[in-house]
Amino acid sequence: MKVLCSDVADLICNVGKLANMPSRLKAFSNNVGAFREFSDLEAEAPYIVEDCRVPSQWPPSGNVEFKNLSVKYGADQAYALKSLNVVIRPGEKIGIVGRTGAGKSTLAKTIFRLLNENVEGSVEIDGHDISKFGVGDFRPKLGIIPQESTMFRGTVKRNLDPLNEFTIEDMWAAMIKCGVAEIIQPKRKRESAGIGNDEDYDEDDDDGEKENLKAEKERWEKAGLLMRVVLFLFTRKEKTNSDDKHKKVGINMNVGQDDNRFSSGQRQLFSLCRLIMRKRKVLILDEATAEVDLETDSKMQELIRSEFGECTVLTIAHRLDTIMSSDRIIVMEKGEIAEIGPPQELIAKGGKFAELVKANEF
C-alpha cells in the first residue's frame, strides 16, 4: 500500500511533464533513427587482426615512411595524393604547408588509415606496413590534435582519462602546463583545496553519478509497472537538465559536447593535455593552433618542443611562425611534394616555400 501511495504521489508530480511528451517522443524516434543509421554502417576496416597485433611499446622510434603512396576519395575521383615518397626520421619535426586543397590533411589521414579504399602504396612506421594492423590496435599508439577538437559529455577527468590510466597529479600537471587549469579552477582555489594531493577529487563523488544511479535503482525497484513506464520516460531527461552539473569545478566539472564555456582554441589545449599525458612517439598536429592567438600558439609550440623532443611530429599549419622552427618543411602542391628541406635552405633557394613566405600565404 505504502509503495502504491508513493507511486501515485510520484505519478502526480510527473503528470505535468506529459505536456512535453510529443517532443520527447520525437527526440526518441530521432535517436532510434540515428542508431539504425549507425548500426547499418559498414565496418571501415578490421578493428583487431589477431595474427598481426601491435606490440605494446610500439612504435619504438617513430620512423615514418610514405612509399609510393597515392590516394583518391572515390574510384572515379582525381588523386588527392600522387606517388608520395618520403622518409621522416625518428624525432624529426616536420612542417607541412601548401595552398588549400593541396593534400595536407589527406596526408595526415593516411597515417591514421582514415582512408582505406582507393589507396595505393603504403605507410610504414618503424618498418611496419600499418595496413596490416587492425585500426583499433595501432591508432591509439599515435597522437593527434585534429583541426577541430571536441570534448565529450562527462567530467573533465573523464575527458582527459576515460580509461582511468592516470593519477590526479598527472592531469593537473598537464592542465597547468597547457594553461587550462585556470579555466576549470582558479589558482587561488586550487591552492586552498591542496590540489596535487588527490584531495580535490573524491572517487565516491565522481560526478555525483554513483549516488544518482543508486537512488535511481532504488526508485526503480520500488516502483510498480505504471510508475516504471513514467520513470523510463522522464528520469533520464531530468538528470541531464540538472543545474548542479554546472556548479562543480576542477576535474569534477561537467562539460558538454558543444559546451560554449570553452572556445575552440581551449578545446585544442585540452587535446594537447591528453597528448602530454600519453607521450606518443608519432604525433600529428593538423592546424592544431589555428584557433588560438599568436601568444598561445608560440607557447604551444614551445611546449611541444620541450615535451615531445624525442617524438616525430608532423605539423600542418597555415601560420608561418608555427612551422618555422621545424627541422624540415614539406611543401604540398596538387597532391604532390613540391619541395622538401630545412626552412632556411628553402627560403635561400627561392622556390615555392620562399614564394609562400614572401606572399605570407600561410
Ligand X SMILES: Nc1ncnc2c1ncn2[C@@H]1O[C@H](COP(=O)(O)OP(=O)(O)OP(=O)(O)O)[C@@H](O)[C@H]1O
Compare residues 101 and 162 and give the one whose CB is closer to ligand X: 101
CA 234 – CA 15 distance, rounded (Å): 10
Q: Alpha carbon of 362 to those of 6, 149, 309, 321: distances in Å?
A: 66, 21, 25, 9
Phi-psi region of 89 (alpha: psi -120 to 50; beta: other; left: phi over 0): beta
Measured at the CA of 9, the angle between CA 5 and CA 11, to 5 degrees, comes to 115
User: In sequence order, which residues have a C-beta less than 8 Å from that of residue 321 and are 6 or more positions away?
Assistant: 294, 297, 298, 301
Compare residues 115 and 173 and give the one whose CB is closer to ligand X: 115
Positive or negative torsion for Cα 242, 244, 246, 252: negative
Task: Output phi, psi for 256, to 5 deg.
Answer: -115, 170
Q: How far is the CB of 322 from ligand X (least distance, A)?
A: 13
Q: How far is the CB of 317 from ligand X (least distance, A)?
A: 10
- Can you read off the three cell numbers belonging to residue 198? 588527490
- Sheet containing 64-72, strands listed edge to edge, beginning at the edge strand earlier in sequence: 79-88, 64-72, 119-125, 128-129
Compare residues 65 and 336 and give the one whose CB is closer to ligand X: 336
Compare residues 89 and 318 and give the one whose CB is closer to ligand X: 318
Q: How far is the CB of 44 from ligand X (least distance, A)?
A: 14
Compare residues 105 and 315 and give the one whose CB is closer to ligand X: 105
User: In sequence order, which residues have a C-beta less than 8 Å from that of residue 338 and are 6 or more positions away?
Assistant: 98, 331, 332, 351, 352
> Which residues in this chain contact ligand X in the complex, by CB under 6 A?
73, 80, 98, 100-106
Q: How far is the CB of 101 from ligand X (least distance, A)?
A: 4
Q: How far is the CB of 72 from ligand X (least distance, A)?
A: 8
Q: How far is the CB of 165 from ligand X (least distance, A)?
A: 32
DSSP 134: -
Compare residues 278 and 334 and give the one whose CB is closer to ligand X: 334
Contact yes or no for 156/252 (Cβ under 8 A): yes
Compare residues 101 and 127 and give the one whose CB is closer to ligand X: 101
Phi-psi region of 113 (alpha: psi -120 to 50; beta: other; left: phi over 0): left
Compare residues 106 and 185 and give the one whose CB is closer to ligand X: 106
User: In sequence order, which residues have a C-beta less than 8 Å from that of residue 323 and are 6 or more positions away?
Assistant: 95, 96, 97, 315, 317, 329, 343, 362
Measured at the CA of 222, the angle between CA 221 and CA 224, to 5 degrees, comes to 100
Q: How far is the CB of 80 from ligand X (least distance, A)?
A: 3
Q: How far is the CB of 73 from ligand X (least distance, A)?
A: 3
